[in-house]
Amino acid sequence: MAARGDTEQQIQRIFSSESRRVLATLIRLLGDFDLAEDALQDAFIAALRQWPDEGVPDNPRAWLVSAGRFKAIDQLRRRARYNEILHEQAQQLEQQATVSMEEENAAIEDDRLRLVFTCCHPGLAREAQVALTLREVCGLTTEEIARAFLKRPSTVAQRIVRAKAKIRDAKIPYEVPEGDELYERLHAVLQVIYLVFNEGYLASSGELLLRHDLSEEAIRLAELVLRLLPQPEPECAGLLALMLLHHARRATRMDAQGELVLLEDQDRSQWDREEIARADALIRRALQTQRFGPYTLQAAIAAIHAQAPSSEATDWQEIVGLYDLLLQQMPSPVVALNRAVALAMRDGPRAGLAALEPLMEDKALADYHLAHAALADMHRRLGNIADARRDYERALTLASQPAEQRFLRQRLEALS
């Protein structure tokens, strides 16, 4: 029975590569998330039963869509004994079931993009967008999502149930928006992707190794959206590049003891050059369009760091220029803080302090540990040890992550 075992393995492979695509199409055809999920399961059970004897069909994807649709019609009919509306729905589905396999195959990729936009619809709460995207587009289980976000599985499950109910009852459409709306909605999609990435990124520096690799999931999602959008969207490329650049440095962010390592002290020979080169190409193309935004600018800044042979040999002139552009597009106190830090590198700590001190009147920075750490660092470089100590201590009281607290304590000890 070696042949049968091989087929089963092949079916497993097809399941992991095709299940999300097939699900996206079934959701469009059936107009119901839960019905589509059941139909997907039924289609794979049918495949496991039939393919070992009949062989794997030439177009397994279209076969699965078609099998899933018929299984859903069966299920609606069984339930329809009690309900007139379901009966009509089953009949309608049956009439539509004559589309050719070729047409089906062409529509399937578009369905994945529709699903992304539906899951990230701004009419859903942000946490619901994230959970639904990870569940439906990426295929994570409810338990995996719960573990990744340190929530109870029942909480995540309830969030997903409510989001699906709103999609159904408020009639959130299954479509990729067009024109101006595409840009507004894409913004929400990119925010969800970046949130997923950051959750994974912070987790990898934290104490929990059990968490699913959300950073890589986010990179795959951005690649998918970039590939499927009707025209290449510079900000989507910019976000992908930004994530690749962070990801390229993952091996050097912590030392063997699990302590944070500053960018200037990281072992640059360990950075993933292939990912950096990919990011670089994406950024160049995005910048050429002249329609780039904050993600592309942040990626460009990260790329200059990633390509510099050392901290001293970094092109701080270029970095300050990019921060000036970023500040115009995204006038936030944290961007202004980063610009001041870059200025301190270009023109010396005195210039950095002159830029940073007036910013500290902003409430957001007054309570931000990294702002005080930056002030402390500038004072340290100027030899103002008492001021440096005061600001490191202030940063330490505000920091909440254990690794950051340990790092700040080390800096304090190094002062004396």
Partner 1 sequence: MKYLCLVYYSEAAMQERGDDHWQSLNKECQAYSGGLTESGVLLEGSALQPVSTATTVRVRDGQVSVTDGPFAETKEQLAGFYMIEANDLNDAIRVASRIPPARYGSIEVRPARDIYDHSSEKVPYGEALES
Q: Which residues bind partner 1 (CB under 8 A)?
A: 83, 85, 121-125, 128, 158, 162, 165-166, 169-173, 175, 177, 181, 184
Q: How far is the CB of 326 from partner 1 (least distance, A)?
A: 19
* Cα–Cα separations (whole angstroms), residue 366 to 317, 350, 356, 395: 27, 20, 11, 10
Rounded to whole angstroms, the Cα distance separating 292 from 277 reads 19
Q: Which is nearer to partner 1, 24 or 167 (CB)?
A: 167
Which candidate, 313, 242, 249, 304, places its Cα nearest to that of 278? Answer: 242
What is the per-residue burial (b if ≥16 Cβ within 10 Å, else e) of 184-199?
ebbebbbbbbbbbbeb
The alpha carbon dihedral of 180, 181, 186, 191 has a sign of: positive
Q: Which is nearer to partner 1, 165 or 364 (CB)?
A: 165
Rounded to whole angstroms, the Cα distance separating 47 from 389 reads 67
Q: How far is the CB of 205 from partner 1 (least distance, A)?
A: 31
Q: Which is nearer to partner 1, 187 or 381 (CB)?
A: 187
Q: Which is nearer to partner 1, 83 or 397 (CB)?
A: 83
Q: Residues 118, 173: contact at Cβ < 8 Å?
A: yes
Q: Which is nearer to partner 1, 173 or 348 (CB)?
A: 173
Residue 290 falls in which region: left (phi positive, over 0), alpha (psi -120 to 50) or beta: left
Q: Which is nearer to partner 1, 11 or 182 (CB)?
A: 182
Q: How far is the CB of 119 from partner 1 (least distance, A)?
A: 13
Task: Extract the tokens encoding 258.
Answer: 């699990």
- For 336-343, the CB contacts below 8 A with 24+ separation are 337/365, 337/368, 337/370, 337/371, 337/374, 340/374, 341/374, 342/316
